[in-house]
Structure 1
Amino acid sequence: EHNGRVDSIDYTIFNRSEFICSGSYDTIYVWDVDNKKQIGKFKHKDRVYCAKFSQYHYNRESKEVICFASADNSIRFWDYKCNKILTVFKEHSNSVTCIEISPFDCGKYLCSGSDDKTVRLWDIEQLTAKIVVNAHENTISCVDFSPLQNNNKNDKNNIIVSNGHTFCSGSYDQTICVWDIEANKKRNSFLHTCGIFRVKYGSNELANTILSSSLDYNVCLWDTRYNNLIRSFKGHSELVYAVDYPPFVVNNVIGSNSSVICSGSLDNTIRFWDIRSDKEELYVIKGYSGKTAITTLKFAALKKKENYNKQKSNDIDSMRLYYGTTNGSIYEDIYRNDMN
């Protein structure tokens, strides 16, 4: 348990074992999911805004590394097995508020946003910033990579290995911007009524959508192809700090991964919404009692027993939800289709 608000949670599988990492104020924890115990701790000299597992270091160097963004204007890579800082990026001129690892090219690229109003695309292997974008008129609060390629084979800049990828950034200036990496320019933008807290690209059928949350307590779903708002979801009574797409079916009640989104709020609820409907939320999880609120969430596949795997080897239909709170606690909720 952290001493203060949990600002970020990430999940990974290294060497067939599951881990989560969490960041709060100046501290990062690493947790062994199977044994439910803390296996690593790093205390930084300044605030830690975001922490992510580095897939690049695991895939290329067999190292278990966490990348974190800090108020000291830096991005650092911490080998938690050896308790050693491997690399430091220091090109931002103000607090680094958000980071995201690329889901393509073995996690070779890192996107970062800052109070200096720039977004930077880093090559982790070459230790350089490939792109620097003067992106917004205020603090950049969130970034994300698109998992989808647009098959733009005419781009010859060779900024990254793959063609056709984009990333998006959200800011307190009320805008979300989508950036074409190879063309090195803004593709389109969306305007909220208030400052943006979180952005998240969809996957599979929803890969052309961006989910966002804002200071106006609303959750919005945007279409990047037609540059328009698909739907706004209203129901939270406080700031919405976290949004995501649930990856699995839940109890046949919440729905499938092609139609459901999720949001967590300072009103101490997590809400599931059907993007095909303008009705009320499908399902509401109320946070644990006491003066606390939801600040971050992360979905993960549910580990199944061997006999269960044999019965449903082609049907990944269960999930775990980890969420962090303002009181420093991290909770795990488990959902199975075979649960009554």
Structure 2
Amino acid sequence: MDSKSSEQQSFTLEIQKEFDQRSGRVKSVDLHPTEPWILSSLHSGTVCIWNYQSQAMEKSFNLTEAPVRSAKFIARKKWFVAGADDKFIRVYNYDTDERLEEFEAHTDYIRSVAVHPTLPYVLSASDDVHIKLWDWEKDWVCSQVFQGHGHYVMQVAFNPRDNTTFASVSLDRTIQMWNLESTSSNLTIAAHTKGINSVDFSKCGDKTYVIIGSDDHTAKVWDYETATCVQTLEGHTHNVTAVCVHPEAPIIITGSEDGTIRIWHALTYRLENTLNFEFGRVWAIGCRSGSPEIVIGCDEGTIMGKVICSHSWDSVKLGHKEEVSRE
């Protein structure tokens, strides 16, 4: 057995809980890249910033009476951006608490926002089946509209290896790949037997995969260049609502309406651990580069845990509408 195979087989991990905070239903979570902060958006219309070191709330913003399904830090501007069921995108300065922008962005619920890592762009995805690109350096003009999905667009994510491309997933059961310069998708894959809720990218050597979670209770790993399903991750007993690939450790994290978090080895796809923090259904998972922490958003609040590996941290681093619940 070679050393790589030996290391993969001996790899084990645990999640050590470091922070939890009971609240209303959490629909999205994000970790600040430099501050010890968690951004949580709630079904109640509130966005909170929690300090996981002091175990206290830093800020609370009452955005709307509608659910805020997605909020992300734009750390380089000291902002956060949020999309809600009232169809509006809002931008706040989290230092001054000032609301900088508020505009109607879609004609139905906004499910997801994604921030470009270097350019002044925000993507938004909606139940109106459109994806839109917003440029904050041009007064938040909509510079592109991407059309192709036939049902609610549940999430969008930029490709970490090529930031000119992004993935989207929908309840039409497909994943689509896009280029920022074109309004037509480059690739459409009929990926699941039921609607798809979540997407993330996984880098493994010179290959990049997409991980998607579905209402068929599974997550799947796709090689989108060959349109091939590499692995199906089975075990959840309800809809898979969130997937997250850790940028530091070789793990895939999946969350479900069954209330559990499952941790999978990103190379072998072996199930490493199943966790239930008794916080109800899981709606969101987040992590960040340079940190072993993961953050989880659930029906009853926010949880943060640290990935504890059997090896040293450095050694595991990796370069139909009627049927739909609108919870």
Q: TM-score, normalised by structure 2?
A: 0.81
Residue 285 of structure 2 corresponds to residue 297 of structure 1: yes
Distance 1:176 1:339 in 2: 35
66, 82, 86: which one pairs with 1:68? Answer: 82
Change (3 A) 1:281 1:67: same
Residue 160 of structure 2 corresponds to residue 147 of structure 1: yes
Change (3 A) 1:207 1:8: farther
Change (3 A) 1:89 1:135: farther
Q: Which letter maps to 1:110? A: V
Per-residue deviation, 1:332 = 1.9
Residues 273-312 of structure 1: pairs in structure 2 closer than 5 A: 273-277=264-268, 281-284=271-274, 286-289=275-278, 292-300=280-288
Q: Is the 8 A contact 2:33 2:75 kept in 1?
A: no
Per-residue deviation, 1:91 = 3.3
263, 267, 271: which one pairs with 1:272? Answer: 263
Residue 317 of structure 2 corresponds to residue 326 of structure 1: no
Q: 3-state DSSP class of the match of 2:160?
A: coil
Residues 99-141 of structure 1 show CA distances to partners (whole Å, capped at 9, x for unaligned) of: 1111233xx1111101111001111211211110223111111
Superposed CA RMSD in Å reads 2.3
The answer for the alignment partner of 1:61 in structure 2 is none
30, 43, 46: which one pairs with 1:10? Answer: 30
Per-residue deviation, 1:183 = 3.6
Residue 255 of structure 2 corresponds to residue 243 of structure 1: no
The answer for the alignment partner of 1:310 in structure 2 is none
Q: TM-score, normalised by structure 1?
A: 0.78
Higher alpha-carbon deviation: 114-123 or 76-85: 76-85
The answer for the alignment partner of 1:119 in structure 2 is 131
Residues 223-234 of structure 1: pairs in structure 2 closer than 5 A: 223-234=223-234
Residues 6-56 of structure 1 show CA distances to partners (whole Å, capped at 9, x for unaligned) of: 111101135xx3211101111110112332210111112222111100134
Residues 178-193 of structure 1: pairs in structure 2 closer than 5 A: 178-191=177-190, 192-193=192-193
Q: Is the 8 A contact 1:117 1:140 kept in 2?
A: yes
Q: 3-state DSSP class of the match of 1:208?
A: strand
Q: Which letter maps to 1:217? A: H
Q: Is the 8 A contact 2:23 2:302 kept in 1?
A: no
Distance 2:149 2:37 in 1: 34
Residues 155-214 of structure 1 show CA distances to partners (whole Å, capped at 9, x for unaligned) of: xxxxxxxxx711111111111111122244211011121101101122463762111000
Residue 75 of structure 2 corresponds to residue 55 of structure 1: yes
Distance 1:207 1:119 in 2: 26
Q: 3-state DSSP class of the match of 1:186?
A: coil
Q: Which letter maps to 2:62? A: K
Residues 27-46 of structure 1: pairs in structure 2 closer than 5 A: 27-45=46-64, 46=66
Q: Is the 8 A contact 1:231 1:275 kept in 2?
A: no
Residues 271-319 of structure 1 show CA distances to partners (whole Å, capped at 9, x for unaligned) of: 12235446x51222x2224x72322111246xxxxxxxxxxxxxx6x61
Distance 1:180 1:19 in 2: 32
Residues 311-333 of structure 1 show CA distances to partners (whole Å, capped at 9, x for unaligned) of: xxxxx6x6112112112x21122
Distance 1:218 1:186 in 2: 25
Q: Which letter maps to 2:164? A: H
Distance 1:181 1:11 in 2: 25
Q: Which has the higher contact order (CA 8 A, sep 6+)?
A: 2
Q: 3-state DSSP class of the match of 1:125?
A: helix
Distance 1:232 1:44 in 2: 38
- The structure with the largest strand share of the pair is 2
Residues 192-241 of structure 1 show CA distances to partners (whole Å, capped at 9, x for unaligned) of: 21101101122463762111000000001111211221111111111111
Distance 1:185 1:56 in 2: 30
Distance 2:239 2:93 in 1: 34
Q: Is the 8 A contact 2:148 2:184 kept in 1?
A: no
Distance 1:167 1:148 in 2: 10
The answer for the alignment partner of 2:253 in structure 1 is 262
Distance 1:19 1:239 in 2: 28
Higher alpha-carbon deviation: 292-301 or 187-196: 292-301
Q: Which letter maps to 1:297? A: I
Distance 1:246 1:224 in 2: 19
Percent identity over the alignment is 24
Distance 2:109 2:81 in 1: 15
Q: 3-state DSSP class of the match of 2:205?
A: helix
Per-residue deviation, 1:80 = 2.5
Change (3 A) 1:74 1:336: same
